[in-house]
Amino acid sequence: MTALQNELKEMIIECLDLEDVESEEIDNEEPLFVEGLGLDSIDALEIGLALQKRYGIKLDSNSEETRAHFANVNALADLVKNHRTQ
């Protein structure tokens, strides 16, 4: 499980081209958006695309649900664990 979380952190840093952030510094429970890591709606689109490409995950029609999955690294890891197709 921790390996998956680290993998996701690396994916976030790489696909968003983030600077001044190391994967070890991202807390698994820290919010990814606004406060915490400070990501924005464009980043959310990029993460969605990366999840599809890397793990074959299709986002649900429910934006509220997607928002919950994108809350922090742990929530993303749960999403990937339960819904990955590749």
Q: Which two tokens stand for residue 62?
A: 């429910």
Residue with smaller CB distance to other proteins, 48 or 75:
48
Q: How far is the CB of 59 from other proteins (least distance, A)?
A: 4
In three-state secondary structure terms, 70 is coil
Give the residue carrying structure tokens 């959310």.
44
Query: Radius of gyration of the chain from Cα atoms?
Result: 12
Would you count residue 66 as binding other proteins (CB under 8 A)? yes
Residue in 46, 74, 75, 78 binding other proteins, rule: CB under 8 A? 46
Quote the distance between the C-alpha of residue 43 and its chain's center: 9
Would you tell me which residues interact with other proteins (CB under 8 A)?
15-20, 34, 38-42, 44-46, 48-49, 52-53, 58-61, 63, 66
